[in-house]
């Protein structure tokens, strides 16, 4: 049985919150949408908290190094799936986000199985930060739309969600997301060579 440390439990909380966040966000109920925003805020905070606790309590572990980025991916992809359902981003964009994260997760699994210490690049961390920022911005617009008191305000938020700014920002984020995958492959190219032997 896996003995979970407190930081790892915090990471798992982020995973468990994600499906509730998704379901609440795509609902038409104002209260549920507000709860979705709260859940995402809690999830984003746990991203900081698990790392802080691991360092403070000296409980860093290989499991934690795997769970932390995995929990980030689950939370972020939950948001992008919701945005696709809400017709904020297209399916092809969602597919790129999913393929990138699934591929890097499979790389981590392969690395663990081969006793290889997979390097996490600064670009990957920056990618997560920018994705979080983009998601929070969209969530604020969605919140404004569902809480608007009149038709003019609703239209204003809808126009913002459909604006070129959102589209161009998504394109930049997609390009950076693909770049981080390439960066991962280059930084960990020895993972795929015969010089790395199975345990």
Using the predicted structure, report yes or no on whether residue 198 has a pLDDT greater than 50. no
Looking at residues 33-45, what average pLDDT do you find?
93
CATH 3.30.70 given to domain 6-192: no
Closest CA to 54 of 66, 44, 43, 40: 66
pLDDT-derived band of residue 92, with 50, 70 and 90 as boundaries?
very high
Per-residue pLDDT at 112: 80
- The helix, strand and coil proportions of the chain, stated in percent and rounded to the nearest 5, come to 80, 0, 20
């Amino acid at each position: 049985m896996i003995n979970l440390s407190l930081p790892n439990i915090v990471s798992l909380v982020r995973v468990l919150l994600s499906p509730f966040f998704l379901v609440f966000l795509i609902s038409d109920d104002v209260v549920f949408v507000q709860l979705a925003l709260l859940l995402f805020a809690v999830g984003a905070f746990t991203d900081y908290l698990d790392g802080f606790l691991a360092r403070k309590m000296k409980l860093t572990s290989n499991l934690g190094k795997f769970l932390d980025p995995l929990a980030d991916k689950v939370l972020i992809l939950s948001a992008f799936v919701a945005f696709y359902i809400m017709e904020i981003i297209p399916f092809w964009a969602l597919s790129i986000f999913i393929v990138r994260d699934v591929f890097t997760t499979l790389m981590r699994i392969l690395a663990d199985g081969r006793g290889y210490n997979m390097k996490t690049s600064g670009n990957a961390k920056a990618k997560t930060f920018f994705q979080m920022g983009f998601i929070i911005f969209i969530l604020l617009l969605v919140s404004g739309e569902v809480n608007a008191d009149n038709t003019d305000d609703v239209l204003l938020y809808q126009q913002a969600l459909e604006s070129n700014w959102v589209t161009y920002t998504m394109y930049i984020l997609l390009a950076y997301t693909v770049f981080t995958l390439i960066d991962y492959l280059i930084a960990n190219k020895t993972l795929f060579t015969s010089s790395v032997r199975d345990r």
